[in-house]
Homo-oligomer: A and B are copies of this chain.
């Protein structure tokens, strides 16, 4: 799998250029700046969120690996250039610049899976103005979507404690977002996904058995269950709530016997049903048959179900829509550029609203004596002073002089991000586990 992914990341899918996944103004700014010569000024852009979604305690960076996979395919094809020319969107010198475009700069950032707070500089792009500007929209699209899903997913896996969560939301979001959402969920601790394309691309666990339509297709529930057990063996999961739940459970046990893997409940009062179904399964001797619930779950419903005899959670809509926060609101801001003499100048918008801090940010996470994280410490224009506290570096190299660090991409990248997520969340103060609205779990301190 990893080998295939690497070759895809290197541009093997000809139909899949990412270069027009962008706003027109990125290209027109390049045209104007090429004319003034400012296009070649060295720049530093940073990606950060001014705030977390209302009430959230922390965010989870996701999309980094996907972003790098897509960066390798950020090439303007002859057909795309022809269209830009026909439409008159940019002029000939700009088309020439786009034709040869390869990002040759350096990108540093938070490792995928890392926890972020307001103003955490999750990505730093260093290159000419033109090279960095072209990437703005695409990079924000990937990070804003994937981080929104991973941040919601992380709350769900924390709420589920050691019960597995399975991603099943593909049908509730755009078809390509579905694949990206499955990947983000896996990074934030989900144990599998129903999305096959995510399985194929990043070698993550996929699962799924049958829907109500399968039962309704057959002349009776008995026949449907018998057919499924014949096809997949008794360890399959049978969906028992098409007609009558108690009768469904009895028929499932009749069809599969003591080896029945699981029953799935997809409607009604899940707490009450889980108790009834557990009692019935135990009565019938199926003490090891698991119960999977899958109806409109979010982190709050999962928390409520923790006291019920449920073995795993299938999460759909609320996962892929970020559980109320479908975008992470990250922005991509110019914070430093050279002047006509080549000297670096920190810059920032200063008019009313949407202000930001000029200068390059250097983040550290600080730790208390008990080993738990205490703050996001950010130096501006240089490293901050940790004043004797234990600290951890947060920035890692992602692209160095145009070379993409392959370890962040493909299946290996997802696995590393899962580990980073687990380790970073484990370090957080216990308030991170609270689902009720509150302040970010770590303060962001500018040094």
Mark interface residues in A325-366 (1 if CB within 8 Å of B CB, else 0): 011010011100101100000011111111000000000000
Interface SS of chain A: helix
Mark interface residues in A18-46 (1 if CB within 8 Å of B CB, else 0): 10111111111101110110100101010
Considering only CB atoms, which chain B residue lies closest to A4 in the complex? B79
Q: A180 to chain B: which residues have CB within 8 Å?
A: 174
Q: A25 to chain B: which residues have CB within 8 Å?
A: 194, 208-211
Q: Do B15 and A45 have beta carbons less than 8 Å apart? A: no
Q: Do A23 and B170 have beta carbons less than 8 Å apart? A: yes
Q: Do B231 and A18 have beta carbons less than 8 Å apart? A: no
**In the bound complex, CA of A276 to CA of B245 (Å):** 65
Q: Does A199 sit at the interface, judged by CB under 8 A?
A: yes
Considering only CB atoms, which chain B residue lies closest to A181 in the complex? B174
Q: Do B218 and A36 have beta carbons less than 8 Å apart? A: yes
Q: A141 to chain B: which residues have CB within 8 Å?
A: 170-175, 177-178
Q: Do A33 and B268 have beta carbons less than 8 Å apart? A: no
**In the bound complex, CA of A174 to CA of B38 (Å):** 30
Considering only CB atoms, which chain B residue lies closest to A145 in the complex? B174
Q: Do A231 and B31 have beta carbons less than 8 Å apart? A: yes
Interface-facing stretch out of A131-139, A300-308, A409-417: A131-139
Taking the full assembly, how many copies of this chain does it contain? 2
Q: A33 to chain B: which residues have CB within 8 Å?
A: 214, 217, 227
**Interface size class of chain A, counting residues whose CB lies under 8 Å from the partner chain:** 35 or more
Q: Does A127 sit at the interface, judged by CB under 8 A?
A: no
Q: Do B351 and A268 have beta carbons less than 8 Å apart? A: yes
Within the complex, the shortest CB–CB distance from A50 to chain B, in Å, comes to 12
Q: Select one of B24, B133, B210 contacting A208, CB under 8 A.
A: B24
Q: Do B145 and A339 have beta carbons less than 8 Å apart? A: no
**In the bound complex, CA of A213 to CA of B45 (Å):** 9
**In the bound complex, CA of A129 to CA of B175 (Å):** 22
**In the bound complex, CA of A353 to CA of B293 (Å):** 14
**In the bound complex, CA of A19 to CA of B245 (Å):** 33
Q: List 15 A-B contacts (CB under 8 A).
A: A23-B194, A29-B211, A32-B210, A89-B206, A141-B173, A141-B177, A142-B174, A144-B173, A146-B174, A175-B176, A176-B177, A243-B351, A267-B351, A268-B351, A268-B353
Closest 7 CB pairs of A and B: A267-B353, A13-B15, A25-B208, A176-B176, A24-B208, A140-B171, A145-B174
Supply 4 further A-B pairs (C-beta < 8 A) apart from A23-B168, A29-B211, A268-B351: A23-B196, A36-B230, A133-B213, A217-B337
